[in-house]
Structures are given as C-alpha cells and as structure tokens.
Amino acid sequence: MSLNQVDEDNKLDVEGWHRQGVFIDPLGSVKSALMLTAKGTYRVDRDYVLSLTVAHATREVSSSYSGFEASLDLTRSIGFTDALVGVAFYSPVTPLNAEVYAGGEAGMMFARAEAEAYGTRTEKVSDTTQTSVVVDTKGTYRINKLVLNVVAGADVHVFDPLFVRLEAKYKFGKVGKMEGDIRRFTTMSTEETSIEFDYSGLFLTVGIGIVF
C-alpha cells in the first residue's frame, strides 16, 4: 500500500527516542499486509458477472527496549475492511482452460490505524530503586470512505465443481488524515493525525472457488 508517510513517521518516532538515549530497534514497514477475501458471484450470462466481496487486511509492527534505566514498547498497526459490489466481463478466449476476466468494484472501506507507547524509567533513590511510568499513550483512528478497485483475473478449472482463482486488484483508497481518540495516561482527547493515510495499492490473491 502507499503508506510511505506512515513508515516515515514511525522512523522519526524511533529516532526521537534515540536522541533521548532509548535505543529501540526500528519498526517494520506497514505497507504490506495479508488480505483475506470472501467473494460471491452471479453469472448473468456467458460474458457478464455480478459480484459481492468482503475483504479484510491488517498489519501490526512493534519494537521494544529494555535496559536498567529505561524500558519502552512501541506498537503501530493499520488495517481495513472493504464491502464491495462489482461487475466483470469474461473474455471469449479461454487459454489453457482458464476463463480470463476484467472489471471493477465499488463500495465502502472501513479503515483504521492505532499507535501505542508504554515506557518506564528506573532511578536510584538512596539505597533503593524507583520505577515510574513516563509514557503511556494510545491513539485509535477510524475513517469510512468510498473505494474503487480495478480487477483482472482468471478462473482455472481443476475439476467440477472446483476452480482456482488468481486475481490482481488495484485499489484506489486514499483517505488523507484521520481523526481519532487519544489516551495519554488517563486523559482522553480527540485529535487528527499529522500525516495522511493512503491505502491504495496492488493486491494479489489466490483462492479456491466452487460452482453451484
């Protein structure tokens, strides 16, 4: 997905902790995620098919640091759930017993993102050590947006009624800045992200289908 701004913001966050002497490892990229899809289709005739699709994807990255004087845990996650209707056209050409199709989908995307940090500091006071929580924050962001997909794929018939479906989908899913609920210790607030989110990207799927 086109989440370069999110990766860069996570990188800057880690660098900020490094400047404070907390050398936490880098967070991974959130641009790739595993997507699970359920799709039902109705073949109007030989050439045209209507479809209903539900897709869900999520990606979480985390890093932690533990030392005598300080500890820190960072977690970042993104995800979306799509509900789409579509139409596709099947080519009359069937190479290698595969039915090739192309089409489009439109519907709603329910996008989300979360950021969480928890850190402590340990100091020696007289003959004892004292540990205090110095950061305890969590942000939960949500947005609903119209989404469009361009789809191309092929149904490879193994044996009736089963077939294998290979599909490539480009998603137009730029949502921009998101508003969310922020908790800092016990204080709650509503804030907008300083960066923009773009869930657009190329998604590849492979699955098993059954013809009724």
pLDDT digits (tens, 9 = 90+) for 125-142: 777 888 899 999 999 999
Q: Judge whether 150 and 169 are in contact, CB under 8 Å.
A: yes
Two tokens at 166?
A: 């290979």
Whether the pLDDT of residue 64 is over 90: the answer is yes
- The percentage of residues in the chain with a pLDDT greater than 90, rounded to a whole number, is 84
Q: Judge whether 175 and 111 are in contact, CB under 8 Å.
A: yes
How high is the pLDDT of residue 196? 96
How high is the pLDDT of residue 95? 80
Average pLDDT of the segment spanning 131-158: 95
Note the helical H segments in 47-202: none
Q: HSE (CB half, 13 Å, CA atoms) of 99? A: 14
DSSP class per residue in 32-85 = --EEEEEEEEEESSSSEEEEEEEEEEEEEEEEEEE-SSEEEEEEEEEEEEEEEE
Q: Which amino acid is at 65?
A: Y
Question: What is the value of pTM for the model shown?
Answer: 0.88
Over the stretch 20-59, which tens digit does the pLDDT of each residue have? Answer: 889 999 999 999 999 999 999 999 998 999 999 999 999 9
ω into 161 cis (within 30 of 0): yes
